[in-house]
């Protein structure tokens, strides 16, 4: 059964099959890289990562826990200021754990940069990042991504966890919104 494309959508950029194939490939790589580890911890960044993390985790063949953080951008310019703070921490400490931070999208890079820096200070056994989508044109700070799904152009994308005003997160594909929707 295919999900109808909402009127606000301009174009589907990544269809369901393309996403699922790539998630499988990323999961295979993670499983291979951590095959000798007793356990890894996937830390999803709410809210956008919840669908990617769920699909990725279920395809892993290595033992894993899942945990979550939530972050918020603050300051007059919002995310553009680069000021990020943690508003919900992981349930369990990550010290001594093999941690992978899982993000739906990297835009300026400020969020992932902040998380990797603050997690490093907690002395995990290892720390890597896994990002489904990257918009290289928007980058303000260089952040190393260990596992990347796709690079995309600088357009507003929704679906597969990504939203516009909290809508469209559960679309099974990733689509560009019509500019008139977000430029209002
Ligand atoms: C998005 C995304 C990242 C962040 C990336 O979250 O999930 O956490 O922005 O942007 P950056 O690279 O410029 O820091 P958003 O603020 O849209 O919140 P959400 O995940 O709850 O939708």
The values of phi and psi at residue 4, to 5°, are: -65, 150
Structure tokens at 94: 């990550």
| Nearest residue (CA) to ligand 1, atom 22 | 48
107 is catalytic: yes
Ligand 1: which of 43, 45, 88, 160 to mutate, most ligand atoms within 8 Å of CB?
Answer: 45
Q: Which residues contact 77 (CB under 8 A, 6 or more apart)?
A: none
* pLDDT exceeds 90 at position 4: no
pLDDT in the model for residue 163: 96
* pLDDT exceeds 60 at position 117: yes
- C-beta of residue 132 within 8 angstroms of C-beta of residue 157: no
pLDDT, tens digit (0-9, with 9 covering 90-100), for 166-175? 999 999 999 9
Token pair 């596992």: residue? 147
Q: How many helices (H) and strands (E) does the chain have?
A: 4, 9
Task: Determine the distance separating the centroid of ligand 1 and the alpha carbon of 115, expressed in angstroms.
Answer: 12
The span from the CA of 174 to the CA of 184, in Å, is 21
Task: Determine the distance separating the centroid of ligand 1 and the alpha carbon of 163, expressed in angstroms.
Answer: 10
Q: What is the mean pLDDT of the chain?
A: 94
> Model confidence at 184, in pLDDT bands (50, 70, 90)?
confident
Nearest to 178, CA basis, from 4, 1, 5, 7: 7
Q: Which residues contact 88 (CB under 8 A, 6 or more apart)?
A: 46, 68, 69, 70
| Direct distance between the N- and C-terminal alpha carbons of the chain, in angstroms, rounded to an integer | 33
The values of phi and psi at residue 158, to 5°, are: -135, 165
The span from the CA of 184 to the CA of 170, in Å, is 23
> Model confidence at 79, in pLDDT bands (50, 70, 90)?
low
What secondary structure letter does DSSP report for 162? B
Mean pLDDT of all residues in 39-64: 98
Task: Determine the distance separating the centroid of ligand 1 and the alpha carbon of 147, expressed in angstroms.
Answer: 17
pLDDT, tens digit (0-9, with 9 covering 90-100), for 18-43? 999 999 999 999 999 999 999 999 99
The span from the CA of 96 to the CA of 7, in Å, is 48
Nearest to 18, CA basis, from 145, 147, 149: 149
* pLDDT exceeds 70 at position 78: no
User: Taking the model in full, what pTM does it have?
Assistant: 0.95
């Amino acid at each position: 059964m295919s999900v109808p494309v909402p009127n606000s959508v301009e174009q589907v950029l990544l269809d369901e099959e393309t996403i699922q194939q790539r998630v499988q490939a990323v999961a295979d790589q993670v499983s291979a890289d951590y095959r000798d580890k007793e356990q890894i911890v996937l830390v999803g960044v709410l809210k956008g990562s919840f669908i990617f993390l769920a699909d990725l985790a279920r395809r892993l063949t290595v033992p894993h826990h899942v945990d979550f953080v939530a972050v918020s951008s603050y300051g007059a310019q919002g995310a553009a200021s680069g000021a990020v703070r943690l508003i919900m921490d992981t349930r369990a400490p990550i010290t001594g754990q093999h941690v992978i931070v899982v993000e739906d999208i990297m835009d300026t890079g400020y969020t992932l940069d902040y998380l990797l820096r603050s997690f490093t200070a907690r002395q995990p056994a290892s720390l890597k990042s896994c990002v489904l989508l990257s918009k290289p044109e928007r980058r303000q700070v260089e952040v190393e991504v260990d596992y990347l799904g796709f690079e995309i152009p600088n357009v507003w994308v929704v679906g597969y966890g990504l939203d516009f005003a909290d809508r469209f997160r559960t679309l099974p594909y990733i689509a560009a919104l019509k500019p008139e929707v977000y430029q209002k």
